[in-house]
Amino acid sequence: MAVSPTTLSANAVRTPASVESINPVNNEIVKRFAATQREDLPAMFERARGAQAGWAARPIFERAAHLRRLRDAIYERREEICDVVSKETGKPRVEALLMEVLVAIDMADFLGRQAPRWLARESVPHHSMAMKAKRAWLEYAPRGVIAIISPWNFPFSIPMTEAMAALVAGNGVILKPSEMTPWSGALVGDMARQAGYPEGLLQVAQGAGDIGAAIIEAGPAKVFFTGSVPTGRRIAEACAKKLIPSVLELGGKDAMIVLRDADLETASSAAVWGAFSNCGQACVGVKRVYVEEPAAERFIALCVEKTKKLRLGPPSDPDAEIGPMIRATQLEKIEAQLKEAAAQGAEIAAGGKRRPDLGPSFFEPAIVTHVNHSMRVMREESFGPVMAIQAAGSAEEAVRLANDSAMGLAASVWTRDEVRGAAIASGVRAGSVMVNDLLSYYGICEAPHGGSGESGWGRTHSRLGLQEMTDVKYVDVDRLPRVKKPWWFGYSAGMADAARGLIDLLFAPSGLRRLRALGGRRSAAGMMFRGGRI
Ligand code: NAD
């Protein structure tokens, strides 16, 4: 962890004084940030709550206009964003441009246009005759100050897109970036200031998990957490204790299903990019491939051939396609999974070796075959450049294997038969399934992002992600203010008959019975027009 401790006294807790941004290419410290102290948080929340009250009162068109300013700020500083992100994650510049800058800038533009419509009052027409005198609508009210706790793998686009949705919905934000990428997190705060958001509305708290936990203790209106499954569990427990709602975007073990009729040339290129872009450190990266047996041999051969051509190197090399892993400790976890799988009979068909000649955490992307679900490499998240390929006897078996996972973030199906592909996609348990494409949905603003099972709950991005930032309120205005409601007190046997008559009139399967309900002792009309006794 990149925090440097300050010794307070012999017995006192060692408080991190700073958070360091470290370049994974060579482990050099590139920048230091003052770490937020637990005791700073009450004042931060107070400032954010103060700013939020005024911000929420501003018209939505004004809040949306700030998103356009943010969009322009990101555009203006796009190369700087890439410099920072690449320096503290080691990712290639092309990926920084596409997955950090483009994703964020597009979301600012999209939400700037759509949010006024999506946050506007939404009329609620009533189906029931008894409610026709009412006018009703939904309001999407801001929640207050939202905590965004984010990971290091997309250190700019994840917190930035979530902050955009929170702010345009009228909330304040306390953002805690990963302690491994404090500089990218600081940039988010800096750009909010540049875009003219009110002072204190979005604040960045720098630090490790203890500060994340303290933020939840401080009582945000909602927690948006993106990170690993074990941390997600701790956060769910902390939120449950205080009944704080949460969105949890957790780990993935995403499956790719390749049917025998797929274009294997395209599917293999997709698999290699899907598994190894961002050095395999993507929640929605391809981790498990199930390929129908008749296509397996050629598909594996193509993947191996293409993986061997990948160019490893630092982001300063414009031709480098695979950067370093974020830390050597991550690399050790991957190596342990591969070693264990090999001992159980798996074959490493490509890569899987360290490259100390390039830097301390460079690792050749690995393809592992002859795997099965008893191996950890098929069950636990491999947050690095590892793609496991298993042959499946049929499409049905491939779906069964894909669904045999505790996680369910995203998946893809590859086939020339679009109709069959769509039908298979429906049977895969995951938050998103693409047919003949992968990963790109994360950059599609209309597509909700989130998972099922251990991949978490709730959604970000899209209209659903924006709604997660709001409290939905139903408002109902009765147009007959002087009429007492017939269901108020004044209960009697006659009223019970009238109530029966009303139910008959509306739902009796027999037409004759419905007709009878119009008059007589069990008169529905009696129910409708009776005045209240009290
Ligand atoms: P992590 O869980 O170690 O940390 C994530 C964040 O949580 C960091 O900011 C960390 O400081 C903070 N944190 C740690 N303990 C905490 C606590 N007790 N209370 C509050 N905050 C705490 O995850 P990571 O290593 O930064 O990121 C990698 C993981 O994130 C992978 O599992 C990956 O799949 C997942 N991820 C998921 C998505 C998604 O959208 N589903 C996107 C990106 C990454």
In three-state form (DSSP H/G/I as H, E/B as E, the rest C), the secondary structure along 283-310 is CCCEEEEEEEHHHHHHHHHHHHHHHHCC
Atom of ligand 1 at shortest range from CA of 251? 34
Assessment of whether the complete model's pTM goes beyond 0.75: yes
Q: Judge whether residue 93 has pLDDT over 90.
A: yes
User: Pocket residues for ligand 1 (CB within 6 Å)?
Assistant: 149-154, 176, 178-179, 208-209, 212-213, 226-228, 231, 234-235, 249-252, 283, 381, 383, 409
Q: Judge whether residue 427 has pLDDT over 70.
A: yes
In degrees to the nearest 10, what's the CA dihedral of 130, 135, 136, 139?
-170
Q: Per-residue confidence at 530, pLDDT binned at 50, 70, 90?
A: low
To test the pocket of ligand 1, the residue of 158, 244, 281, 283 to mutate (highest count of ligand atoms within 8 Å of its CB) is: 283
What's the confidence (pLDDT) of residue 493?
86
What's the confidence (pLDDT) of residue 527?
65
Average confidence score pLDDT of the chain: 94
Q: What is the pLDDT of residues 36-57, one digit of tens each?
A: 999 999 999 999 999 999 999 9
CA of 129 to the centre of ligand 1 (A): 50
CA of 151 to the centre of ligand 1 (A): 5
Atom of ligand 1 at shortest range from CA of 234? 18
What's the confidence (pLDDT) of residue 516?
84
What's the confidence (pLDDT) of residue 4?
45
- Lowest-confidence segment of 10-24, 91-105, 243-257, 450-464 by average pLDDT: 10-24
Closest residue by Cα to residue 134 from 384, 475, 529, 525: 475
Atom of ligand 1 at shortest range from CA of 230? 2
Catalytic choice (283, 303, 364, 454): 283
Mean pLDDT of 126-154: 94
Mean pLDDT of 282-298: 98
Atom of ligand 1 at shortest range from CA of 326? 25
Report CA-CA distances (Å) from 241 to 148, 224, 366, 444.
Answer: 18, 16, 42, 35
Closest residue by Cα to residue 366 from 338, 389, 386: 386
Please answer whether residues 286 and 320 qualify as being in contact, where contact means their C-beta atoms are separated by less than 8 angstroms.
no
Catalytic choice (95, 249, 335, 454): 249
Q: Judge whether residue 10 has pLDDT over 60.
A: no
Closest residue by Cα to residue 359 from 330, 328, 405: 328
* Helical spans, DSSP H, in 309-345: 328-343
Q: Judge whether residue 528 has pLDDT over 70.
A: no
What's the confidence (pLDDT) of residue 335?
96
Mean pLDDT of 22-26: 97
249 given a catalytic annotation: yes
Q: Is 347 helix (H, G, I), strand (E, B) or coil?
A: strand
Calculate ∠ Cα 306-282-297, nearest 5°. 30
Q: Which residue has the tokens 């690993």?
A: 228
In degrees to the nearest 10, what's the CA dihedral of 51, 56, 62, 65?
70
20 given a catalytic annotation: no
Which residue's CA is the closest to the ligand 1 atom numbered 42? Answer: 283
Closest residue by Cα to residue 146 from 169, 172, 177, 111: 172
